[in-house]
Chain A
Amino acid sequence: AQTVTQSQPEMSVQEAETVTLSCTYDTSESDYYLFWYKQPPSRQMILVIRQEAYKQQNATENRFSVNFQKAAKSFSLKISDSQLGDAAMYFCAYRSASRPFGGSQGNLIFGKGTKLSVKP
């Protein structure tokens, strides 16, 4: 079974600074997707960024970028120029590309999350 581990339950960053959230995963599969989701307090979960495992290039979305290390099974999220609106729970998630419906773990396997606080 696949597992996703986020070792930082909480993180804090000063506004305008850069912060990196860690995520490691365990899988025997070679083809998969990785995601970072953001869940602001009392608001909907939204997708921040996605990475296809077959792509060597790290994904980037504006101030958000990832450091994808396939051999190390590491997938960290870097937030540059942090803003107050970035304060949220961040979840790392894994999805198999070869098993259509994921099995009993479902399509998306989530880490426990990292709560990010942004200080003004």
Chain B
Amino acid sequence: KAGVTQTPRYLIKTRGQQVTLSCSPISGHRSVSWYQQTPGQGLQFLFEYFSETQRNKGNFPGRFSGRQFSNSRSEMNVSTLELGDSALYLCASSSTRGTQGEQFFGPGTRLTVL
């Protein structure tokens, strides 16, 4: 099976712009979680989707949003980018909901905001 894929791998944007990141989970996985990783804050949970519904949301401003499609692919969007949004954005998928199932991570999208 192919692993979790994320596109694009690298992205450079300027302040005020918006960005959309994409995540394709492992085939058959219905749960997708997003994390932001920075040197200072470590790994922080953004949100989780299961069967096209957002099940969980972390403590991030409303500029961060996401969605999941019927094929389980997920996108996250960040509007009005700020310098502090520069980070590695990780997507993880699992086969079952909630507490069951290991999470498999993608390679991440490195976002740089100038």
**Inter-chain contact B57/A100, CB cutoff 8 Å:** no
Look across to chain B and name the residue whose beta carbon is closest to the beta carbon of A45: B105
**Interface size, chain B (Cβ < 8 Å):** 26
* B34-59 near A? 1/0 per residue, CB < 8 Å: 01000000110110101000011111
Q: In the bound complex, what is the Cα–Cα distance between A111 and B41 (angstroms)? A: 10
CB pair A110–B48 under 8 Å, yes or no, is no
A95 touching B3, Cβ below 8 Å: no
* A97 engages B33 (CB within 8 Å): no
Contact A104 to B102, CB < 8 A, known contacts A44-B107, A45-B90, A112-B42: no
* Given contacts A101-B48, A106-B45, A95 and B107 within 8 Å (CB-CB): no
Cβ-defined partner of B99 (8 Å) among A96, A110, A112:
A96
Known A33-B99, A98-B99, A101-B98: A110·B43 in contact at CB below 8 Å: yes
- Are A44 and B105 neighbours in the complex by a CB distance under 8 Å? yes
> Given that A33-B99, A110-B42 are contacting pairs, would A102 and B107 also be in contact in the complex, using a CB cutoff of 8 Å?
no
Pick 8 A–B contacts, CB within 8 A, sort by A: A45-B105, A47-B103, A100-B55, A101-B97, A106-B35, A107-B56, A108-B33, A113-B43
